[in-house]
A and B are shown apart, each in its own frame.
Chain A
Amino acid sequence: MKIIVAIKQVPARDSQLRIAASGKWIEESDVAYEINEPDAYALEAALQLKEKNGGEVIALCAAPERASQTIREALAKGADRAIHIEEDMSAFDPLWSARLLAAAIKSESPDLVLTGLQSDDLGYGQTGVILAELLGLPHATLIMQVETQGAGIRVKRELEDGWFQHVEMPLPALLTIQSGISKLRYATLMGIKKAKTKEVKRFSAADLDAVPGPPNITLDRVYLPERVKHTQLFEGSPKEAAAKLVEKLKFEARVL
């Protein structure tokens, strides 16, 4: 089974974010980058499928040069090779990004394309589903489990309120993987060593004939959220803060 996993590089989860002077994005020089966590689960799902069914796992990433590190890590964990579309993605809306990824995927003709369910930065949660439309593939989202079944697959999809559903579909197909479905592996020392010799193909959007046109949606302004509630914060030593909180809970909120 030939599997392509689309991975994104995003600011690390515990980053302190500042708004850039332009007011249109965060100050990028402040933050460290890491693999988008949901995509780490998609990569894990791909590696497990390969271990079970054989085949090849290809990591695909569209991002500036800084993503080389994240791509290396995917290779160290067990991806066989990678495609790095080296682009500053700020001019790409979700549809243009998906067109760019689709251009790279088409020439590989994979059996399965996996993505995480959403990105931790923009969080549109759309790249996978748009990709399926552009590639003409059947898809399913929020997948917990993938089994091969004859010439196709049977997946377990998560619904709201604790409900699940199995869905069957032919291959090739696209799945967006739910986070937390299995434990993420660490790269082994051997894996890290091997990663250095693995192939990373580099393209630009122009190489792939996927230079973006005018965006369909525009991020006009980003800002720190306006507080909907006034939060009373308690300071002092842990003991003092705890005592003040309990007093408020008892006499003001009257919940104790």
Chain B
Amino acid sequence: MSILAVMEQRGGKWNRMSFETLAAAQQLAKELNTTASAAVIGDGVDSLAAELAAKQLEKVYAVENALLKDYTPDAYSIALRQLTDHAKPALAIFPHSYQVRDFLPKLAASLGKVAVSDVVSHRVQNGEVVLVRQLFQGKISADVRFNGAAPHFASLQAGAYRADQAADGSAPVEKFAPRIEAAEIRTKPLELFRESQRAVDLSAAGIIVSVGRGIKEADNIPLVQKLADALGAELAASRPICDAGWLPMERQVGSSGQTVAPKMYMAIGISGAIQHLVGMKGSRTVVAINKDPNAPIFEVADYGIVGDLFQIVPELIEAVNKAK
């Protein structure tokens, strides 16, 4: 009965969140006085498994089948159900990636279980794991507990655990070959593609001024652009602004857009839904301007003004120009 970290790779490259999951598994194992193992899934994962073998783990499972080459929710659920039966973890944890969201609820449901998704932290209480997750777009937190027998399942929010804390060591690799029939895979995934070459690389920007729903109309965007110009900043946005076509998709910050870590990130009229925060919470200094004092953006902000952005931004432009 141990903790199992299920890593994510595509085409032989790790999803960078995987090592956060691995670090979390090691931490949980230590706190629960048990061991951590890790699994990598695909077709031909020897070199990835070898990389995991240099971590402090009880075992590395190399889960291989030709039908696991390209991700499908059917094949992944089947493979992981068999691995769970074999490895018998008390708790299997995953990165809360788009791929995991696509198959983990199915995997858990097939075993009559519910996965706790998008976990931000945990604590151990009376030998039991209590998981913390966010409700209402981050406005409320909740403690969640598993009931019933193992295995339990959870996925961890990007950035909730630190990949650089994954401890080195050495672990044996065990090959695990799940039985999958081609006919069990009902969806046919085609090639990955990008809509357009990215002309804007927000990750290189020193200062970013980002705009959200609070701006109300496309006609108001130039006001924020003026502030960005005054600060010598790149203009960015939360998803709804790009969905509405008010700014191009390439300027979107968040889980489905770019991940940024500038020296200053100024969020104008952005409430700070989790999907946005994961894209910018590594910023050195965060400034938030929002009319709602309870907006989650203030939880990650160093400086803030609660008020009407349409009154504050013009004053801010003037003050910035004066300070230069």
Contact = CB atoms under 8 A, between A and B. Distances in A.
A179 B324 CA distance: 41
A216 B130 contact: no
A217 B144 contact: yes
Contact of A218 (B98, B145, B243, B322): B145
Contacts of A250: 323
B102 to A, nearest CB: 5
A246 B304 contact: no
A187 interface: no
A229 B302 contact: yes
Interface of A: 11, 14, 16-17, 19, 26, 93-95, 98, 120-126, 129-130, 132-134, 138-142, 158-170, 179-181, 214-229, 231-235, 238-239, 241-243, 245-250, 253, 255-256
B136 A160 contact: no
B250 to A, nearest CB: 8
A130 B106 contact: yes
23 contacts: A14-B292, A17-B139, A17-B294, A26-B140, A123-B118, A125-B105, A139-B73, A160-B255, A161-B259, A162-B256, A162-B257, A165-B189, A165-B190, A165-B192, A166-B190, A215-B114, A216-B146, A221-B142, A229-B301, A243-B315, A245-B303, A253-B302, A255-B285
A123 B101 CA distance: 12
A164 B249 CA distance: 13
A162 B147 contact: no
Contacts of A139: 73, 102, 106, 187
Contacts of A227: 298-299
Interface stretch (B26-34, B43-51, B306-314): B306-314
B244 interface: yes
A236 to B, nearest CB: 9
B168 interface: no
Contacts of B191: 165-166
A215 B147 CA distance: 7
Contacts of B77: 133
B239 interface: yes
A183 to B, nearest CB: 8
Contact of A231 (B142, B255, B301, B315): B301
B183 to A, nearest CB: 12
B89 to A, nearest CB: 16
Nearest to A226: B141
B303 A253 contact: yes
Interface stretch (B52-60, B171-179, B193-201): B193-201
Interface string B114-153: 1111100000000000100111111111111111100000
Contact of A170 (B135, B186, B231, B323): B186
Contacts of A255: 207, 263-264, 284-285
Query: Binding site of A, secondary structure by majority: helix, strand, loop or mixed?
Result: mixed
Contacts of A17: 136, 139-140, 294
Contacts of A125: 101, 105, 117-118
Given A232-B303, A245-B319, A167 B285 contact: no
Given A93-B114, A123-B136, A142-B101, 6 more contacts: A129-B109, A162-B194, A217-B144, A231-B288, A242-B312, A246-B316
A130 B303 CA distance: 41
A248 B257 CA distance: 30
Given A140-B102, A180-B243, A214-B147, A98 B320 contact: no
Nearest to B294: A16
A144 to B, nearest CB: 10
A176 B191 CA distance: 20
A234 B305 contact: yes
B240 interface: yes
Contacts of A225: 134, 138-141, 296, 299
Contacts of A253: 264, 284-285, 302-303
B114 A94 contact: yes
A120 B198 CA distance: 30
Contacts of B74: 138
A249 to B, nearest CB: 7
A141 B263 CA distance: 35
B188 interface: yes
A129 B130 contact: no
Contacts of B324: 256
A218 B147 contact: yes
A223 B106 contact: no
Specify which of A17, A216, A233, A250 lies most central, judged by the most chain B CB atoms within 10 Å of its CB.
Answer: A216
B110 interface: yes
